[in-house]
Structure formats: structure tokens, C-alpha cells
Structure 1
Amino acid sequence: MSEEEFDLLDELYFVQPFSYLQESTGWEDELILKTLQSLYQKGYIKCLSAPDEERFDKVDVMKEGSELLYLATKEGLMAHNAL
């Protein structure tokens, strides 16, 4: 797990919108989106279109990521806490 992935997972113990990640990390949007995409592909986060609406289709985080909310999965939390 990269340092960026670790840092983003740290912010996703609760459902958070993209705007929160921008504010909390201070990173460029592209870095946030690339890191979210990587975490999503590993199964470490889930994407939501609203606080109670998980997306079960394949999500293109790079394309629509700024409009979504994110939450760490059980696997993501376990990987995060193992480090």
C-alpha cells in the first residue's frame, strides 16, 4: 500500500464526499482520483452516490469520482490497520 493510499484510507472510516478529501489532504484532484481508483480496484473502498446508496456497478473513479462519496471496506480497514 502506497503512502497516499494509506493516508486516504485514514480519512475513510466514515462516508466522506470528494470535497472533504480535497480539503483534508490538500492534494491535487488528479492525485486524489488516481489514489481512489487504486483503492477501489483493490477492493479497499466502496463508492456511493448518496450516503445510503452504494454503487454496485463498475465505477470509473477517474471520470465521475468528484461526484461520489467514499467509505473504506472491511478489507481496506484491515489492510490499513495491519501497517
Structure 2
Amino acid sequence: MTTATLNSYTERGYLGNLAKAAGTFLRALFAMAPVTASVSHGMASQRSIVRDRDSLWKLARDFDTLSPSQAAELRNIAGRD
């Protein structure tokens, strides 16, 4: 038989516990999504995709002299949809 114990209790006062409980309650009540999840949709994701592709192209240019096959693979990855 296995027993799992979680010792995550930290020394908090009454107001700290109350604030944590209130925050948890409000997040559950309004079912708020994390900020990163809400930003990942729409124009922000398009900008990040373009920025990532540009950085892959730049990295491929840097690899041209060291490893042409690696540079070709990076260009292939950057060209994918």
C-alpha cells in the first residue's frame, strides 16, 4: 500500500489564507483562463509565428558556412505552414 503525503503548508496568517481562498474562489467562479492562453489566439500568435520564422531564417544564414545541410533543414522548417 502506498501513501502520498503533501507537505505544502507554509506559515501564513489568517489574512493570507483568506486572500488565497478568495482568489481561488473567484477564479473558479468566473473560470478565468490564464493570460498566456487568452493571448495565444488572434494577431499575437500571427506575430509570434512570423518572428519565429524570421529567427529560423537568420539561424539558417548563420549555419550556411558551418553546416549547409543543417541550414537547408532550418529553411525547410521555416517554410512549413
Q: After TM superposition, is the score higher than 0.5?
A: no
Which structure: larger Rg? 2
TM-score of the two chains, using structure 1 as the length reference: 0.25
**Structure richer in strand, relative to its length:** 1
**Structure richer in helix, relative to its length:** 2
TM-score of the two chains, using structure 2 as the length reference: 0.25
Higher relative contact order (CA 8 A, sep 6+): 1
